[in-house]
Amino acid sequence: MFKRVLILSASAGAGHLRAAQAIEKAFIQLGAAHELRNVDTLEYTSKLFHKLYSKAYIELASRVPEGYGWLYDHFDRPWHNDRLRRAFERLNTRPFVKMLEEYQPDMTVCTYYLPSQIISWLKEKHRLYTRQAIVVTDFDIHAMWLCGHYEHYFVALDETKAHLQELGVPADKVTVSGIPIDPVFGESKDKTEVRLQYGLDPALTTILVSAGGFGMSPIERLMQSLIKMRNRVQVIAVCGRNEELKDRLDEFSRALPANCPVHIMTVGYTTEMDAYMSAADLVVGKPGGLTTSEAQAKGLAFVITNPIQGQEERNADHLLEEGVAIRCNNLPVLAYKLDRLLDDPRRLAAMQANARRLGKANAACDIVKRLLSIGTCESA
């Protein structure tokens, strides 16, 4: 058991926070820490820096995806520009450094690259004595996740482990755990019962459309395409924290003709995504690392639309390679592609089986158990 554990994420997108929450829950379930803190690193930075890392990320990824993609590729050069970037980060994270030095955790778990870089620098300067674990929250690894002083990496894929080894990380310091998600996604729930619980038709194919925690995907244009389907389906549209989007979709749904084969149920911000996924047959949307991992744990096929250039493009490649997903590059033909998939039930069933094969609902607990074994070995 660890004395003090610090879990560090960042509110730059919702996925890093959800991964941190899953690991926190696993530590509590396993009784693996006397004292446990889950911290958003950006709360300990300057206001300008906070805005740059949170709001700027959302704005750039949603409004100027080409620019975001260019930055992602430009900075994906292992071990280049480290000194300049770390100097900039240290300049803006002095409150974070002070918190670390005062708290003195014996284990830190990072689900975002920013805190791992700062901790690595403090370890190098002998200003912090802690074991550091880095949990990569996408299928691929970007150069920004690399640092010089760490104890262990946790990654989603064997390929990602091989990539790290090629970059000089020893094999015994990398565990292929999967991306940590709330263990609730591993619980089996009867599809018919869940659909009835939410007032859905238990016999209809059910499509989950998620705008993400911040409600920033082009979900309205997507719905314009979906309603042209000829197969009768029901759609669960999750709008996240974007209340205006939910209001617009409610109005859009009410205006549909009575004979429309697509029924839409809108949902705002929810903590019951596992239940909505249990009700669904497939997911339509952006392949973020957490959303994709949750869908795989529930055995859902994935229809990829509008992936963010950079990490989501790479996630999409892995899903397509494993036979979990199809991709729609042009929203006007989304209905055509979905109808074609639903007309081939054997193909849909194979995609769902592949998702179940890849799903790692217990990743968070597996990570904590591995950390405990590492701690035991080091203290022996």
Asked if residue 147 and residue 260 are part of one domain, the reply reads no
User: What does the mean pLDDT of the chain come to?
Assistant: 88
Is 60 exceeded by the pLDDT of residue 216? no
Render pLDDT for 146-181 as a digit per residue (tens, 0 to 9).
998 999 999 999 999 999 999 999 999 999 999 999
In the predicted model, is pLDDT for residue 377 greater than 60?
A: no
Q: Same domain for 54 and 162?
A: yes
Question: Per residue in 17-34, pLDDT tens?
Answer: 999 999 999 999 999 999
Res 344: pLDDT:
97
Sheet holding 152-155, edge to edge: 33-40, 2-9, 107-110, 131-135, 152-155, 174-176
Same domain, 115 and 81: yes
What is the structure's pLDDT at 240?
A: 82
User: Both 163 and 210 in a single domain?
Assistant: no
Confidence of residue 15 (pLDDT cuts 50, 70, 90): confident
Same structural domain, 114 and 254: no
Q: Are strands 152-155 and 325-328 parallel, antiparallel or unpaired?
A: unpaired
List the CATH number of the domain containing 112. Answer: 3.40.50.2000
Kindly state the average pLDDT of the residues 245-272: 92
| Backbone conformation region of residue 81, classed left if phi is above 0, alpha if psi is from -120 to 50, else beta | left
- pLDDT digit string (tens) for 287-299? 999 999 999 999 9
Q: What is the pLDDT of residues 43-65, one digit of tens each?
A: 888 777 777 766 666 566 666 56
Q: Which of 182, 143, 173, 137 is nearest to 156 (CA)?
A: 137
DSSP label at 326?
E
Domain membership of residue 159 as a residue range: 2-181+361-379
Q: 10 Å Cβ neighbour count for 123?
A: 20
| One domain, residues 217 and 244 | yes
Question: Two tokens at 279?
Answer: 């009700």
* Whole-structure pTM value: 0.89
Above pLDDT 90, what percent of the chain?
67
Q: Are 298 and 277 in contact (CB under 8 A)?
A: yes
Return d(Cα 189, Cα 183) in angstroms, integer: 13
pLDDT (0 to 100) of residue 49: 72
Among residues 274, 308, 276, 272, the alpha carbon closest in space to that of 289 is found at 308
Q: What percent of the chain has pLDDT over 70?
A: 87
pLDDT at res. 61: 61
pLDDT of residue 219: 82
Give yes or no: residues 163 and 219 share one domain: no
Q: Can you give the pLDDT at residue 215?
A: 47
Total domains in the chain come to: 2
What are the backbone dihedrals phi and psi of residue 369, each rounded to the nearest 5 degrees, phi first?
-60, -40
- Between CA 172 and CA 165 the distance in angstroms is 10
Largest Cα–Cα distance of the chain, in whole Å?
Answer: 70
143 and 211 part of one domain: no
- Give the pLDDT confidence score for residue 380 in this predicted structure: 39
- Indicate if 223 and 106 belong to the same structural domain: no
Higher pLDDT: 1 or 347? It is 347
**Buried-exposed string 43-66: b where 16+ CB fall within 10 A, e elsewhere:** ebbeeebbeebbeebbebbbeebe
Q: What is the pLDDT of residue 214?
A: 46
